[in-house]
Amino acid sequence: MSTVVQGRRLQRLPAIDNLKAAMVAWIIAGHALVGYSAIGGWPYDEVNEVTFDRRSELVLAVLIGPSALFVVGTFFFLAGLFSPAAITRKGPARFAGERILRLGVPFLVFLGLLWPLFMWAAYRSAGFRVSYWWAFTHRKPFLDSGPLWFAEVLLYFSLAYATWRWVATRLGRHPRPHPGPFGGRQLVALAVAVAVASFVVRLWYPARSTQILDLHLWQWPQCLGMFGLGVVGARHGWIGNVPESVRHACGLAVAGTLGAVPVLAVALGVSSLAEAATPFLGGWHWQALLLASVEACLVVAGSVWALGTAQRRLVDGGPLSAACGRAAYAAFVVQGPVLLTLAIAARPLPLPAEAKAPLVGALAVPACFWLGWLIIERTPLGRLL
């Protein structure tokens, strides 16, 4: 939750709430689009009735491809940023219990009921005569929870961090009151570590591979590194302010990386993402190391730049932005059922993917936030989410 203690009261941070809301909206819209892509990335691609043509696919990659490499890592970064103060305030046991409720309960509900139910409906709408049990047991990955894999993995990291803090307290070890300098050199070292670790992990678990419980093991180096960066950043006061010099340097790194990607794509002769993707996803390929390096640069520099920019540009907002910020996590949770329902409803429309996908996305974003707000404000689940 985007809160800090002010006196004896918890105070929400509008800049971070607004950043979360913007990223959730981007994720929902992006999922709506890639559900109709040839390369995939959202489960509706298993049953979609139309797909983008090759040129549209390349435009789509330019628009949302770079953000797809770092947005999830940014959420882990923000989660790590607020974890130290939350554990200090609540204690490890209460912190762990609240994370189990906030992250674990929605994950289990989606795993055991909602996600297979809506995927079953999607398959039925496409003419497949399958049962709910088939959707639950025979789809890959086994025991899929849709986008709630994020909550699952974040729960594991949060519980591990709470355990580490509990053990450290028992051993009488406490963080140094005056941490050493932290800036560009440390961020470069982290990016290198994430790139190398991602490349190594993807020798066994290529990007976009499936594992039981949809663990996204190929993304763990990024997620773990960014959660750790958040924990360290909290000790340096980054919740309130990322130093301008750090923000500026990270912005330059992001701009340079984004500028280099299309040049590299042209130089490598990439004309079809679906056909050219395989060596980039993992294995002993220099392309896999290249993708891991680009991803690491974007996730480290992009996350820090996004936080620093939000602290300077997204500090104001009216009731609508406050409501969206408060409902962001709930909107993320409900996106799967909303997107699949809208895609099923739009299926009979005689439209190409270039028209249908933006339509689904344009309807899904406000629908998810509206439902999220209703859940938060009008139901007991508001205390959970």
The domain spans of the chain are 1-68+317-385
In this prediction, residues 30-46 reach a mean pLDDT of 90
Residue 109 exposure: Cα atoms within 13 Å on the Cβ side? 13
Mean pLDDT over the full length of the chain = 90
Of 272, 356, 344, nearest in space to 127 by CA: 344
Q: How many CA atoms lie within 13 A of 233 on its CB side?
A: 33
Give the per-residue pLDDT at 4.
Answer: 54
Instruction: Give the CA angle between residues 226, 229, 235 to the nearest 5°.
Output: 150
Looking up tokens 């497949």 gives 128
- Per residue in 146-182, pLDDT (tens digit) is 999 999 999 999 999 999 999 988 887 776 666 767 8
The identity of residue 329, as a single letter, is: Y
> With bands split at pLDDT 50, 70 and 90, how would you rate the model's confidence at 7?
very low
Residue 12 has pLDDT above 90, yes or no: no
Please tell me the distance from the alpha carbon of residue 342 to that of residue 356, in angstroms, as a whole number.
Answer: 10
Name all contacts of 257-260 with Cβ < 8 Å and 24+ positions apart: 257/66, 257/294, 257/297, 257/298, 257/301, 258/66, 258/298, 260/294
How far is residue 289's CA from residue 201's CA, in Å, rounded to a whole number?
A: 11
- CA–CA separation, 89 and 98 (whole Å): 13
